[in-house]
Amino acid sequence: MITSKTISNGILRALATIVIVSLALYFLYQIHTVLTYLLLSLILTMIGVPILNFFKKRLKFNHIFATITTIFLFVAIILGFIIMFIPLITSQGQNLSLLNTVAIEKNIVQLVDQITVFLESHHIDSSKVLKEANITSKINFTFIPDFLNSILGTISSLGVGLGSVLFITFFFLKDRVLFLKGAKKLIPDSHEEQTLNSFEKINDLLSRYFIGLLLQLFIVFLLYLIVLIIFGIPNALIIAFLCAVLNVIPYIGPLIASILAAILTMLSHLGNDFQSETLPLTIYVLIGFWVVQLIDNNVSQPIIFSRSVSSHPLEIFLVILVAGFLSGILGMIIAVPLYTIIKVIGKEFFPENKIIQLLTKDI
Residue 259 covered by a domain: yes
Q: What residues make up the domain containing 175?
A: 38-99+133-186
Number of domains in the chain: 3
Most confident of 19-28, 96-105, 135-144, 307-316: 19-28
Q: What pLDDT score was predicted for residue 187? A: 75
Q: What percent of the chain has pLDDT over 90?
A: 10
Burial 313-323 (b: 16+ CB within 10 A, else e): eeebeebbeeb
Residues 275-321 pLDDT 10s:
778 888 989 999 999 999 888 877 777 666 667 777 777 788 888 88
- Is the domain of 195 the same as that of 211? yes
Neighbours of 159 (CB within 10 A): 9
Does pTM surpass 0.75? Answer: no
- Is the domain of 229 the same as that of 351? yes
Q: What pLDDT score was predicted for residue 1? A: 56
Residue 119 covered by a domain: no
- Is the domain of 171 the same as that of 248? no
- Is the domain of 43 the same as that of 166? yes
Q: What pLDDT score was predicted for residue 139? A: 47
Residue 282 covered by a domain: yes
Residue 42 covered by a domain: yes
Q: What pLDDT score was predicted for residue 170? A: 92
pLDDT at 147 over 50: no
Q: What pLDDT score was predicted for residue 229? A: 92
Mean pLDDT rounded to a whole number for the chain: 77
Contact present, 83 and 75 (Cβ < 8 Å) = no
Residue 113 covered by a domain: no
Residues 203-226 pLDDT 10s:
888 888 888 888 888 889 999 999
Residue 25 covered by a domain: yes
- Is the domain of 155 the same as that of 298? no
Task: Give the residue-averaged pLDDT of 172-189.
Answer: 79
